């Protein structure tokens, strides 16, 4: 991942605005830019609450970035799972870390091996996220429970 040092808040916000304008991406429900000691992070929260919907939106964002990591995190205090991607946006003023996420209800159908307060890598290249996006089914009769892969 590219270093994000030296990016001001205004440059990070401009870089995000350009990225959104240049790509037909699913519109986020919220955006935030955080700058601390010259490092900036852009966070976009997606609309939706189904695994296939969030997975599809994450793929759309991931396809606009060169290096992406994908993970699923189940917070300890809630019965939710956060699906997210991390990448880097680069421009003339530098680079900024990008995190795009959406939250869904925990369902053992989708996340059988994800325990509370656990974070695991999810395969984008091998297709796990793409399989989730392509499968609107919510019954175990039509799809085997996918296993999260501990890749980084």
Q: Which residue has the higher pLDDT, 136 or 35?
A: 35
Average pLDDT estimate for 42-63? 93
- Residue 71 domain flag: yes
Contact 40, 12 (CB under 8 A): yes
Average pLDDT estimate for 72-94? 90
Alpha-carbon span 69 to 46, nearest angstrom:
17
Average pLDDT estimate for 71-91? 91
Residue 71 has a pLDDT of 94
Average pLDDT estimate for 40-44? 91
Is the predicted pLDDT of residue 53 greater than 80, yes or no? Answer: yes
- Residue 99 domain flag: yes
- Residue 150 domain flag: no
- Residue 1 domain flag: no
Q: Give me the numbers of helices (H) and strands (E) for the chain, helices first please.
A: 4, 6
* Residue 85 lies in domain: 9-134
- Residue 109 domain flag: yes
Is the predicted pLDDT of residue 144 greater than 70, yes or no? Answer: no
Residue 123 has a pLDDT of 82
Residue 1 has a pLDDT of 41
- Cα(first)–Cα(last) distance of the chain, in Å? 13
- Residue 145 domain flag: no
Burial 120-146 (b: 16+ CB within 10 A, else e): bebebeeebbbebbeeeeeeeeeeeeb
- Residue 141 domain flag: no
Overall domain count for the chain: 1
Residue 50 per-residue DSSP state: S
What is the overall mean pLDDT for the chain? 82
Confidence grade of residue 60 (pLDDT, cut at 50, 70, 90):
very high
Average pLDDT estimate for 88-104? 90
């Amino acid at each position: 991942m590219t270093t994000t040092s030296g990016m001001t808040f205004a440059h990070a916000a401009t870089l995000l605005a350009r990225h959104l304008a240049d790509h037909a991406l699913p519109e986020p429900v919220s955006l935030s830019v955080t700058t601390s000691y010259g490092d900036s992070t852009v966070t976009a929260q997606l609309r939706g609450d189904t695994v296939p919907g969030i997975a599809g939106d994450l793929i759309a964002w991931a396809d606009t970035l060169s290096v992406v990591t994908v993970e699923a995190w189940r917070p300890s205090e809630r019965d939710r799972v956060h699906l997210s991607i991390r990448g880097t946006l680069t421009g003339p003023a530098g680079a900024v870390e990008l995190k795009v996420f959406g939250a869904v209800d925990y369902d053992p159908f989708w996340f059988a091996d994800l325990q509370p307060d656990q974070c695991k890598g999810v395969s984008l290249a091998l297709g796990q996220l793409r399989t989730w996006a392509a499968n609107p089914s919510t019954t175990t009769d039509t799809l085997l429970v996918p296993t999260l892969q501990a890749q980084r």
